[in-house]
Amino acid sequence: MVRRLDFFIALVSLTGQFSACTSTGPKVIERADYLSSAPEWASVTRGAYEKDGKQYFLGYITLNEGASKSAAMNMADEKALSEPMRAIVKEFLDQNQVGESVNQGDAVGQRVISAARGYRPPMPGLHITNRYWETVMVPTTDGRQRIELRVFSLAGITTSEYEEAKRAAMRNFSGNNEVKKILDDVGAKQRDAVISK
């Protein structure tokens, strides 16, 4: 009887340790459409990619428990639909050798967009192709749990249309005097950083 009791206590102890180990990370407690796992495209490590002649851009947001799913979907949609322009501006800055050390937090990219007066090349074929949400229990540093709503939206556009939009944007930026001033300012800062080393 004592051996059985000792065995039971040891088993409970091990089970508790195992549970503690497995519950240290985020745990999905609810998914859209009762899916058993997240779709392959819903990954923050795969923000933009090309597949079957189309360009895809991910919009992702995290909100606290109790947030409206429909409002969160709209926010994720807006983010996904703005990603192609952000990618075009980033490529423009890369072509003009604006280093990431100067463009921290996309600050220079935002200045370029502002200088272009909110210019957006026409992309009529850009639309939301997929949406997904999940509710996740996340452990906090004080040993408690918090609930997050994670929402993913995927925007798609044909590669040919995206490339045409990119060419139009590059022409607009290259001919914009305010954008040129921004690039000159950034270039001066980069030269100063090199000289001061």
Per-residue tens of pLDDT for the chain, all 197 residues: 444 444 434 444 444 443 444 457 899 999 999 899 999 999 999 899 999 999 999 999 999 988 899 999 999 999 999 999 999 999 998 888 776 655 565 788 888 888 887 788 999 999 999 999 999 999 998 889 999 999 999 999 999 999 999 999 999 999 989 998 888 888 777 776 667 65
- Cβ burial, residue 32 (10 Å; 0-12/13-18/19+): middle
State the helix-helix crossing angle for 107-115 and 69-95, rounded to 10 degrees: 90
Decide: 57 and 86 in contact? Cβ < 8 Å: no
* Distances from the Cα of 133 to the Cα of 2, 136, 152, angstroms: 50, 10, 6
Taking the CB of residue 42, how many other CB atoms lie within 10 A of it?
23
Q: Identify the DSSP state of 99.
A: -
pTM score, whole prediction = 0.77
Domain locations along the chain: 25-195
Separation between Cα atoms, residue 173 and residue 113, nearest integer Å? 9
Decide: 72 and 163 in contact? Cβ < 8 Å: no
Decide: 55 and 48 in contact? Cβ < 8 Å: yes
